[in-house]
Amino acid sequence: MCARKSTAKKKILFSDEFYSDMSAADMLHAVLIRSPFAYGKIISISFAPKTKVPENYFLLTYKDIPGKNTVTIIETALPVLCSGEISYKGEGIALLVGPDKEVLEELKKNIRIQLDKSELKKDESRFAKACKYLSVSLKDGSPIEQSLISLRKTLADYSQPRQIVAKRKLVVGSVDEVFSDSEKAAVIVEGEWSNKIHYKSNKETEGCFCFLKGGNLHVYTPCQWISQLTKTLSEVTGFPKEKIFITRTWVSHKTTNALWMNSILVSQAAVAALKTGKPVLFSLSRLAQEELLELPPEISISHKTALDSRGIITAMDISIEFDSGAYNPFAQDILDRLTIASTGIYNCKNVRISAKAYKSHNPPASLHLAMIDSHSFFAIENQIQKISEVTGFSPVELRQMNKAGGLQKSTKPFTFSFGRSSDAINAVAIKSDFRRKYTVAHLAEQRHYEESEDFPYSPPIRGIGMACSFDGSGYLGTYFEKSSISMQVSVNEEKKIIVHAYPPSAAIRDIWTRIITDTLEIDKRSIVFTNEINDESGKKNADALIIPETLIGTVSIRTTLLRKCVESIKRKKIDGIPFSIKKSLPQSRKKLWNQKDFSGTPYYNTAFGTCTVEIEFDRCTYREQLRKICVIIDGGKILAPKAAENSVYRSIQRCLSTLVEEDPLTCPDISIKFMQSDEEPKQIGHLVYSILPAAYTSALSQALAVTVRSLPLQTDSLFKIRENFELAKLKKSEVDS
- pLDDT, tens only, 390-411: 999 999 999 999 987 644 345 5
Is pTM beyond 0.75? Reply is yes
Q: CB of 129 within 8 A of CB of 153?
A: no
Residue type for position 435: R
> What's the confidence (pLDDT) of residue 481?
52
DSSP state of 213: E
> What's the confidence (pLDDT) of residue 537?
37
Cα separation, 649 vs 642, whole angstroms: 10
Judged by phi (left if over 0) then psi (alpha if -120 to 50, else beta), residue 456 lies in alpha
Determine the average pLDDT of the residues in 237-250: 90
Q: What 3-state DSSP class applies to 328?
A: coil
Lowest mean pLDDT across 141-155, 299-313, 507-521, 525-539: 141-155
Cα separation, 568 vs 585, whole angstroms: 16
Partners of 68 in the β-ladder: none
Determine the average pLDDT of the residues in 322-344: 91
Residue type for position 448: H
Residue 579 confidence class, pLDDT cut points 50, 70, 90: very high
Question: Roughly what angle, to the nearest 10 degrees, separates helices 395-402 and 434-451?
Answer: 130
Buried b (16+ CB within 10 A) or exposed e, 246-262: bbbbbbbbbbbbbbbbb
> What's the confidence (pLDDT) of residue 540?
43
DSSP state of 63: G
Sign of the dihedral defined by the CA atoms of residues 715, 667, 684, 420, in that order: negative
List all residues 6 or more positions away from 347 whose beta carbon is below 8 Å from its beta carbon.
Answer: 313, 402, 403, 404, 405, 409, 410, 411
pLDDT tens, residue by residue, 7-31: 334 445 666 688 999 999 999 999 9
Residue 278 confidence class, pLDDT cut points 50, 70, 90: very high
Residue type for position 627: R
pLDDT tens, residue by residue, 189-204: 999 999 988 887 778 8
Cα separation, 585 vs 587, whole angstroms: 6
Cα separation, 562 vs 501, whole angstroms: 10
> What's the confidence (pLDDT) of residue 552?
58
Cα separation, 650 vs 637, whole angstroms: 20
Cα separation, 329 vs 551, whole angstroms: 12
Determine the average pLDDT of the residues in 83-102: 92
User: CA 646: distance to chain centroid?
Assistant: 21
Higher pLDDT, 727 or 669: 669
Residue type for position 259: L
Residue 131 confidence class, pLDDT cut points 50, 70, 90: very low
pLDDT of residue 726 exceeding 80, the answer is no
Residue 477 confidence class, pLDDT cut points 50, 70, 90: confident
Cα separation, 104 vs 107, whole angstroms: 5
> What's the confidence (pLDDT) of residue 668?
96
Determine the average pLDDT of the residues in 489-493: 92
Q: CB of 507 within 8 A of CB of 644?
A: no
> What's the confidence (pLDDT) of residue 507?
76
List all residues 6 or more positions away from 106 whose beta carbon is below 8 Å from its beta carbon.
Answer: none
Count of C-beta atoms within a 10 Å radius of residue 586 = 10
Judged by phi (left if over 0) then psi (alpha if -120 to 50, else beta), residue 622 lies in left
Residue 240 confidence class, pLDDT cut points 50, 70, 90: very high
| Average confidence score pLDDT of the chain | 83
Cα separation, 10 vs 243, whole angstroms: 10
What percent of the chain lies above the pLDDT cut of 90?
47
pLDDT of residue 149 exceeding 70, the answer is no
Cis amide leading into 66 (omega within 30): no
pLDDT tens, residue by residue, 42-83: 888 999 888 899 999 999 999 999 999 999 887 888 999 999
Cα separation, 564 vs 486, whole angstroms: 11
Q: CB of 377 within 8 A of CB of 694?
A: yes
Which range scores top for mean pLDDT: 191-195, 226-230, 289-293, 593-597?
191-195
Residue 343 confidence class, pLDDT cut points 50, 70, 90: very high
Cα separation, 692 vs 672, whole angstroms: 12
Determine the average pLDDT of the residues in 315-333: 92
pLDDT of residue 629 exceeding 60, the answer is yes
Determine the average pLDDT of the residues in 715-728: 77
Torsions phi, psi for 31 (to 5 deg): -125, 130
pLDDT of residue 549 exceeding 60, the answer is no
> What's the confidence (pLDDT) of residue 553?
64
> What's the confidence (pLDDT) of residue 73?
83
> What's the confidence (pLDDT) of residue 150?
41
Cα separation, 256 vs 237, whole angstroms: 24
Cα separations in angstroms, 210 against 32, 227, 267, 548, 663: 15, 17, 10, 22, 39
- The string of DSSP codes covering 653-711 is HHHHTTSBTTS----S-EEEEE----SPP---TTHHHHHHHHHHHHHHHHHHTS---EE
Cα separation, 38 vs 87, whole angstroms: 6
Q: CB of 361 within 8 A of CB of 395?
A: no
> What's the confidence (pLDDT) of residue 117?
67
